[in-house]
Structure 1
């Protein structure tokens, strides 16, 4: 591998560790792990896209970077990972399929090229608010908005959004194709830093038949699975009854999405090989968070810090991460930023000073973590959003109107809420986190609470932030992904 390797970070949005590490579901990822390094206990800093990606790129927890449901933007008060790579001569590129990871959200900082793949033509006005309108209101919106900015660009994006992209995947194939073309056309000899977010398998699950049928329960059909309602908030409110078979069918669709992503990962590897870059590239595959598919009575990826959401896959391939070994230490996704700088031989002392992560590069010699922390700063959707979108918000759903922090060690996890709740799980005997043992182990609760408080004292809290308005295009796209506004 070259002295300064290319670095490719692939985020498989919304991907659970148990399915990602199933070789029948994700065989390409299993192949990379066989000759690379697989982290078995990697934990995300947050259970949903915006704060998790912000933590990955800043090496800071949500309490510090301040990007969460109450402030839906990554501000410029902290350095971001592509900046030291760019300063070191790297070409920096981001390919995003999730609207949270957008220029409007502040994630374009440090990237020379920032591709928003929900747009056919890169533009600040893609008119995707037209998607959920009636034919009559859509015509009025087109008439009003078509000449706001570049009319040809707006028209192209409108047609693409309405008639092309919705009827195919969530941008994965187009993203891989764009990356392959970019690699083939590169004339620069500089190394590159590439971040790509694949939106599969985010709700709504719409996997291809060919990647799904192998995961279906016995006797089930693809059509039967696709007919199961995918309404997470109605399910959690108790307005939608799903049987165990229904949930098994949804899980099959979800696995079909991961398998489809895995095929894109194979195509990305082939593109790097065809461009002659594979041997000089460190590839990192992870997820921003997982997913509840009926687990704990929940669906989607909000309102909790169970391992179904915060334990994530993490596979590294290339350079010092060869050999097919498992990394069994606790790892936070905050640790990726200093680790990747170490892999590239970039010092960047100013950026490292703001990172909270600890490098797990083999040459760093860092001690193993004693604990990792995950945070859920504010509910998304809020109770007000649920009230606007549901016929009723039952009392049990209102109990989720709180923030959460979880501190996890080798054997226990303490989850503490702003409502005064404390739940302790013995992960050795109860990996599914089904039984709260806080009353039986008050000593352990106190010990972990003290450690969490000490950790909080080390965080340069973002404090109160002014609200951020969301443009109509972004609002429509987020609601289409299930993020009620």
Structure 2
């Protein structure tokens, strides 16, 4: 049995043609979905990258593991915590990864016999780099029962797709550097500008048209789709495509100027927390199945374990693949088989990086409670009717305060139940170190001779650029 788990970092569900997008960003992903199952409403319960992947490999949300912050020096995952690659290796699978999350936290390398660090290169981490490491490894181990984790970063900033991919997504004759276009002004004068100037804007160039950035994001997805086709064609050429359970997921999405978020993945709004999940396993997963109910990323671990137990491959010790205790995830197999829709009536959401907030997503409503808004302006409570207001533009928290109160109480009860008397790790983070990404901005501001409080009073692009020139 062969399992390939693929993380499509920063891939927003609504930007894929298989999820209703009108542009041809994902023809091969659509083909894979047509051969298997697509989950229409899959959610990242914890964002962004560090906490999302920790949840996927443990089957537990952040409040269960204690890992709720991204990029924090305070977080630690005990080695006693059940970890999917550890379980699979101990059961007899050959385990491997093409990934660079080890650069972030040591636990992401646990359980792999082969760990190929993909960090480096001029284009962040190019999908060609991932394939260049993964495809020879697959060929060498094609006769074995293996688990392979692949982490593609192409849709993550900075958006630097090959130029040949851009024309399909950017209007012909339109000038991305037109000085008369002012659509980038809010982004360039946002409080987070110092961070994105260094990590994104300077790498792309003096763009004035916000639509050009959105086109670059689409072009990155299309480029990624071609890399996935290369990988899939390789499986077919080796004769192992039909034997391989392939699972593709977005760890979080991306906001493309919505909610004052400019090409980044924070905020518990749909662009960031609604992610794609697609699975294919010929002969075991019915082709063309679409699941409409709520599911979440932590459901992947028990789904993989059930798949292995049902297949019962020779040489694999199934006794070591029982579901760990305390899982928050539930197997997706009843939904895959059409016995039910989804795995959860409610998904609880959390973030602690740029902002600190928690939320609750029901079939219809989204409630968000913000504890620290970081460089953003946020009301403490937000309530959205996602059916009548799918873009979450009308905050109903005041006019429907009884419903907001009810959902906030439900959220608080869930948090208390998960903590079971422990102190809230988000509270510890905010008290002891503050928001992790505020520290990053502070470091950049300090290099320019500015302080956070000083910058808050007058966050203008020109002012920061002058300060940088003065210091350097």
Taking structure 2 as the reference length, what is the TM-score of the superposition?
Answer: 0.75
Aligned pair 1:18/2:14, yes or no? Answer: yes
Counterpart-to-counterpart distance in 1, 2:185 and 2:304: 38
Residue correspondences, number: 396
Q: What's the offset of the Cα at 1:224?
A: 8.0
Match 2:325 to one of 350, 353, 356: 353
Counterpart-to-counterpart distance in 2, 1:352 and 1:229: 50
SS at structure 1 position matched to 2:409: helix
Partner of 1:282: 245
Please tell me whether the aligned partners of residues 232 and 300 of structure 1 are also in contact (alpha carbons under 8 angstroms): no
Partner of 1:146: none
SS at structure 2 position matched to 1:206: coil
Aligned pair 1:94/2:94, yes or no? Answer: no
Partner of 1:369: 344
Aligned pair 1:212/2:176, yes or no? Answer: no
Counterpart-to-counterpart distance in 1, 2:164 and 2:178: 15
Counterpart-to-counterpart distance in 2, 1:64 and 1:75: 12
Please tell me whether the aligned partners of residues 213 and 222 of structure 1 are also in contact (alpha carbons under 8 angstroms): no
Match 2:273 to one of 306, 310, 315: 310
Q: Which runs of 5+ in 2 are unaligned?
A: 310-317, 373-378, 434-439, 445-472
Match 2:369 to one of 410, 416, 422: 416
SS at structure 1 position matched to 2:293: coil
- Post-superposition Cα deviations, 1:362-414, rounded to whole Å, max 9, x if no partner, equal 369677411011101x334xxxxxxxxxxxxxxxxxxx5xx211110110011
Counterpart-to-counterpart distance in 2, 1:286 and 1:357: 15
Please tell me whether the aligned partners of residues 415 and 424 of structure 1 are also in contact (alpha carbons under 8 angstroms): yes
SS at structure 2 position matched to 1:63: helix
Within a 5 Å distance, the mapping from 1:321-336 to structure 2 comes to: 321-336=285-300
Q: What's the offset of the Cα at 1:276?
A: 1.8
Partner of 2:83: 80
Partner of 1:344: 308
Q: Indicate the RMSD between aligned Cα atoms, in angstroms.
A: 3.5
* Between 235-244 and 250-259, the greater mean CA deviation after superposition: 235-244
Counterpart-to-counterpart distance in 2, 1:257 and 1:327: 27
1:430–1:353 Cα change, 3 Å: same
Within a 5 Å distance, the mapping from 1:426-441 to structure 2 comes to: 426-441=385-400
Partner of 1:203: 157
Counterpart-to-counterpart distance in 1, 2:38 and 2:286: 10
Taking structure 1 as the reference length, what is the TM-score of the superposition?
Answer: 0.73
SS at structure 2 position matched to 1:41: strand
Partner of 1:116: 117
Counterpart-to-counterpart distance in 2, 1:344 and 1:230: 49
Please tell me whether the aligned partners of residues 10 and 265 of structure 2 are also in contact (alpha carbons under 8 angstroms): no
Counterpart-to-counterpart distance in 2, 1:107 and 1:238: 28
SS at structure 1 position matched to 2:89: helix
Aligned pair 1:37/2:40, yes or no? Answer: no
* Between 106-115 and 441-450, the greater mean CA deviation after superposition: 441-450
- Post-superposition Cα deviations, 1:414-435, rounded to whole Å, max 9, x if no partner, equal 1112268221100010000001
Please tell me whether the aligned partners of residues 294 and 343 of structure 2 are also in contact (alpha carbons under 8 angstroms): yes
Counterpart-to-counterpart distance in 2, 1:290 and 1:263: 19
Within a 5 Å distance, the mapping from 1:246-261 to structure 2 comes to: 246-261=209-224
Counterpart-to-counterpart distance in 2, 1:78 and 1:231: 46
* Between 193-202 and 339-348, the greater mean CA deviation after superposition: 339-348
1:282–1:408 Cα change, 3 Å: same
SS at structure 2 position matched to 1:329: strand
Within a 5 Å distance, the mapping from 1:102-181 to structure 2 comes to: 102=103, 104-118=105-119, 161=120, 165-166=121-122, 168=123, 170-181=125-136
Counterpart-to-counterpart distance in 2, 1:230 and 1:96: 33
Q: What's the offset of the Cα at 1:436?
A: 0.7
Match 1:182 to one of 137, 158, 167: 137
Partner of 2:450: none
Match 2:254 to one of 291, 294, 298: 291
1:170–1:422 Cα change, 3 Å: same
Partner of 2:145: 191
1:215–1:96 Cα change, 3 Å: same
Counterpart-to-counterpart distance in 2, 1:275 and 1:266: 14
1:73–1:212 Cα change, 3 Å: farther
Q: What's the offset of the Cα at 1:37?
A: 0.7
Within a 5 Å distance, the mapping from 1:48-59 to structure 2 comes to: 48-59=48-59
Please tell me whether the aligned partners of residues 228 and 249 of structure 1 are also in contact (alpha carbons under 8 angstroms): no
Aligned pair 1:379/2:382, yes or no? Answer: no
